């Protein structure tokens, strides 16, 4: 079985399991989506949602966060990992959005990736989930799963993104990104499946006997 055949099997399984894919990060608009994605680095979506549910009803525009200032933002998000760095990024990007983009989140990769704390993955999520642009955000979890499933040889997330885009139809990217995340959390967990027990792993690799060691991004 080659990677093209595996990709078709994987897509079929994921579409059956997850016909709908709600966005896991709670948000009110494109700006709060951008902030939530930025805050989600090195923590869970659940942690971010628990913090932002008390923030977004009152603060949900760049102007609000500029007025708050960096220290007050720190206090609001201090239960999230690396909160000082994230608070600085949120404050600075809020200022830039007001000064250069009329308070609006830009709808292109170039401008998004110029914002403090916004890398390609964060920009891809915003473009996909905020603007409906066909993008394939790849984080370390998707990178790990793509290796387990034989879709990439996994040197880095950039290569994994490129490989996945070649294998799957463009119209599926936005939904598939979330389907893979949901499946990984529920069935193909890092420290439970090891490439041996979930339906995708056993279907794509029925003869696999030893745990698969994946390369970190």
Q: Which residues are part of the catalytic machinery?
A: 121, 139
Contact, 30 vs 130, CB < 8 A? Answer: yes
Contact, 14 vs 179, CB < 8 A? Answer: yes
> Among 105, 125, 127, which residue's Cα sits nearest to residue 115?
105
> Cβ atoms within 10 A of the Cβ of 77, count?
21
> Among 196, 193, 190, which residue's Cα sits nearest to residue 208?
196
H-assigned helices in 56-131: 62-68, 70-77, 83-101, 109-112, 120-125, 131
**DSSP category for residue 170:** G
């Amino acid at each position: 079985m080659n990677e093209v055949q595996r990709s078709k099997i994987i897509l079929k399984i994921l579409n059956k399991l997850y016909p709908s894919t709600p966005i896991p990060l709670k948000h009110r608009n494109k700006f709060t989506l951008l902030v939530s994605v930025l805050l989600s680095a090195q923590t869970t979506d659940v942690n971010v949602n628990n913090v932002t549910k008390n923030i977004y009803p009152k603060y949900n525009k760049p102007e609000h966060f500029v007025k708050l200032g960096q220290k007050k933002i720190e206090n609001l998000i201090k239960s999230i990992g690396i909160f000082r760095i994230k608070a600085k990024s949120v404050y600075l990007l809020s200022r830039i959005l007001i000064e250069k983009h009329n308070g609006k989140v830009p709808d292109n990769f170039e401008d998004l990736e110029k914002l403090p704390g916004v890398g390609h993955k964060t920009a891809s999520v915003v473009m996909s989930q905020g603007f409906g642009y066909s993008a394939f955000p790849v984080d370390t979890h998707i990178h790990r799963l793509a290796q387990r499933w034989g879709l990439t040889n996994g040197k880095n997330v950039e290569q994994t993104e490129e490989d996945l885009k070649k294998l799957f139809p463009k119209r599926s990217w936005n939904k598939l990104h979330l389907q893979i995340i949901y499946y990984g959390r529920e069935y193909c967990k890092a420290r439970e499946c090891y490439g041996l027990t979930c339906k995708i792993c056993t279907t794509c690799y029925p003869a696999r006997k030893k745990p698969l060691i994946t390369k970190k991004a």
